[in-house]
Amino acid sequence: MLKAGQAAPMFVLPDADMESIDIAQFHGKNNVVLFFYPRDDTPGCTLEATDFSDHEDEFTRHDCTVIGISRDECIKHAEFRDKHGISVRLLSDSEGVACKQYGVWQAKEVDGVKRHGIVRSTFVIDKQGVLRFALYGVNAKGHALEVLRVVKELNS
């Protein structure tokens, strides 16, 4: 698992419109919030993505770009985005590369069956590419405002 103070792992992934997004493009320009979530169109994931979207203007005012990542395909992301009015960028990590780099791909036990899946997690990366916040096992409710407070502190 990653910790604050470490260099943020870099990656390039496609967004819902199949455009490649290189996380390094924000270096020197913007802070970045990365939130990893298990699956499009589930109650917790919808709550989290719409909550970040509802506060996107505030994040932007603090030089911060918000990006959601799951292993869903680009087309599923586009449907999810359009259905729920999600404005933050959603990246497809279908191969699980970024999920493994950030340590969010973990074994979970559900109903006595062990499976791997994404542990809901959030990271704040500063303009120099350094992790300033890493939280695993996030509760979606109220999480966007908690992260916004972290971003505001980063800029003060």
Whether residue 99 lies in the annotated active site: no
Per-residue pLDDT tens digits for 95-115: 999 999 999 999 988 789 999
Q: What is the pLDDT of residue 108?
A: 83
Q: What is the pLDDT of residue 154?
A: 86
Return the structure tokens found at 2. 């990653």
Closest CA to 75 of 63, 83, 67, 65: 83
Average pLDDT over residues 68-94: 97
**Average pLDDT value for the chain:** 96
Closest CA to 116 of 137, 90, 92, 96: 96
Q: What is the Cα–Cα distance from 89 to 17, expressed in whole angstroms?
A: 10
Residue tagged active-site, from 45, 64, 74, 99: 45
Q: SS3 for 85?
A: coil
Q: Enter the pTM of the model.
A: 0.95
Helices 43-54, 74-84: inter-axial angle, 10-degree rounding? 70
Q: What is the pLDDT of residue 45?
A: 95
Has residue 78 got a pLDDT over 80? Answer: yes
Which pairs from 41-47 meet CB under 8 Å and 24+ separation? 41/76, 41/79, 41/80, 41/83, 41/84, 44/120, 44/140, 45/70, 45/120, 45/140, 46/80, 46/84, 47/140, 47/141
Residues 36 and 147: beta-carbon distance below 8 Å: no
